[in-house]
Amino acid sequence: MLKAAVLMTMGLAYGDLAQAATPPTVSTRAMAIHRQVLTLDTHLDTPAHFTRPGWDFAARHSLATDTSQVDLPRMRTGALDGGFFVIYTPQGPRTPDATAKARDDAIMRAVEIREMAARLHDRVALATDAADAERIITSGRTIIYQSIENAYPVSGDLGLLDTFYALGVRMVGVVHFSNNDLGDSSTDPKGAEWHGLSPLGRQLVAKANSLGMVLDASHGSDEVLDQLLDLSRAPIILSHSGCKGVYEHPRNVDDPRLQRLAAQGGVVQINSFGTYLAATVPDVERDKALQELNTRYGKRHEMTMAQTAAFVAERDAILQRYPGFERSYEQFAAHLLHALRVLGPDHVGIGLDWDGGGGVSGMKDVTSIPRITQTLLDAGYGEGDIAKIWGGNVLRVLKAVEAMADHPQSSSSQ
């Protein structure tokens, strides 16, 4: 697909991207390849900003005054064609009332994503199958897939997966930071509760397969990943994970499991969440200052724009006073290149965890992602491989999951 040529014909040839300053490490050739291939990020937590007072996905924001990392203008600058916009629900009490509230909150987040797409229908379009991606980008619009991070909202009734499917969700992650009624988290301090998936979690696998919904093992324990691979009849994904072969962290995945994932057609999408990339030197004073700051300002997504700017200024001052907290782009690249050495370019992709804690020194928001293409080019990967890594692999998985569903869906007409 000649993406750049199509958009130029429509007068949308990423004009602002061509004029924008790009990182000095990105060559003309790398930038041309980056614009040419279809680029998808499989984990965008940006919908968390949709209800912030005064925040608009269609407007350009800046990290100098705002905590957000993705908006339409910055996606255009970074030449990100779209991705999976996340319906995230933090793990709460495992009671009927709390689960019902989580259900309602998740449904409302899906509605907010759909409302954004309707309001900006000339610039974005909802995607519900693999074929939609090329159709949407050919029309000059941004691709909006939807995913669920933490299946806690459906744990009271797995039939709710039908509701989310009808709303356009095509990927579901089992757990988040804590164990839930579906399975074990890799980071719950209590350790394993189910030793993998619960009986309900096993039913979730069958239900997702039946619908044609991609199963996401990120945040799950090693045993959850093992059992998803045992039980799923379709390939699965790690939507935003890293490699234990680079840094031994519970959220990362060891080489044998990555190889098994690939052998079954799956893909690992490399994240840029600093805590999972490399260790940092503990600093009690820094951590205390950051904790006090977060407590004082409260929930970021409820702040006004003025409050957000003040928060960012104070946070940046703390990080300048106590250096060494941020991880580097090179540490992110180490995970990406390790995964490629272990699995090859057919089973690796990009899921940076923007607006969910991702971002490293040298790549702090979506405008900087052409640097990844430069890294791949420098490592010897050609345009065909880069196209797979940036979007082809996840679309292949989505297509395979669709084909194995009990009632495969035809392409939508957004």
pLDDT in tens, 307-339: 888 998 998 899 888 887 889 999 999 999 999
**Predicted local confidence at residue 23, as pLDDT:** 54
Contact in structure between 192 and 176 (CB atoms under 8 Å)? no
* Beta-bridge partner residues of 350: 270
Classify burial at 180, counting beta carbons within 10 Å of its beta carbon; exposed 0-12, middle 13-18, buried 19 or more. buried
**Predicted local confidence at residue 15, as pLDDT:** 33
Contact in structure between 248 and 216 (CB atoms under 8 Å)? no
The secondary structure of residue 237, as a DSSP letter, is E
Model-level pTM? 0.92
Q: Tell me: the pLDDT tens digits for 60-90?
A: 999 888 889 999 999 999 999 999 999 999 9
**Predicted local confidence at residue 315, as pLDDT:** 87
Six token digits for residue 47: 């919908």
Contact in structure between 60 and 66 (CB atoms under 8 Å)? no
- Choose the most confident range, by mean pLDDT, from 3-12, 27-36, 308-317: 27-36
CATH of the domain spanning 34-280+327-404, picked from 3.40.50.10490, 3.20.20.140, 3.40.440.10, 3.90.1150.10: 3.20.20.140
318 contact partners, CB below 8 Å, separation of at least 6: 286, 289, 290, 293
Average pLDDT over the chain reads: 92
Distance between CA atoms of 59 and 72, rounded to whole angstroms? 7
Q: Tell me: the pLDDT tens digits for 155-165?
A: 999 999 999 99
Q: What is the dihedral of CA 278, 282, 285, 290, to 10 degrees?
A: 30
172: helix, coil or strand? strand
Contact in structure between 126 and 413 (CB atoms under 8 Å)? no
pLDDT band at 282 (very low <50, low <70, confident <90, very high): confident
Residue extents of the structural domains in the chain: 34-280+327-404
Determine the average pLDDT of the residues in 115-139.
Answer: 98
Distance between CA atoms of 288 and 281, rounded to whole angstroms? 14
Instruction: Note the helical H segments in 251-364.
Output: 255-263, 274-277, 284-297, 305-321, 329-343
**Predicted local confidence at residue 18, as pLDDT:** 35
The secondary structure of residue 410, as a DSSP letter, is P
**Predicted local confidence at residue 322, as pLDDT:** 85
321 contact partners, CB below 8 Å, separation of at least 6: 286, 289
How many percent of the chain have pLDDT more than 90?
Answer: 81
**Predicted local confidence at residue 101, as pLDDT:** 98
Six token digits for residue 62: 């800046």
Q: Is the dihedral of CA 331, 333, 336, 339 positive or negative?
A: negative
Q: Tell me: the pLDDT tens digits for 341-386?
A: 999 999 999 999 999 999 999 999 999 999 999 999 999 999 999 9
Distance between CA atoms of 136 and 376, rounded to whole angstroms? 26
Distance between CA atoms of 202 and 321, rounded to whole angstroms? 48
* Beta-bridge partner residues of 129: none
Instruction: Note the helical H segments in 196-251.
Output: 199-211, 222-231
pLDDT at residue 37 greater than cutoff 60: yes
pLDDT at residue 59 greater than cutoff 90: yes
* Beta-bridge partner residues of 349: 269
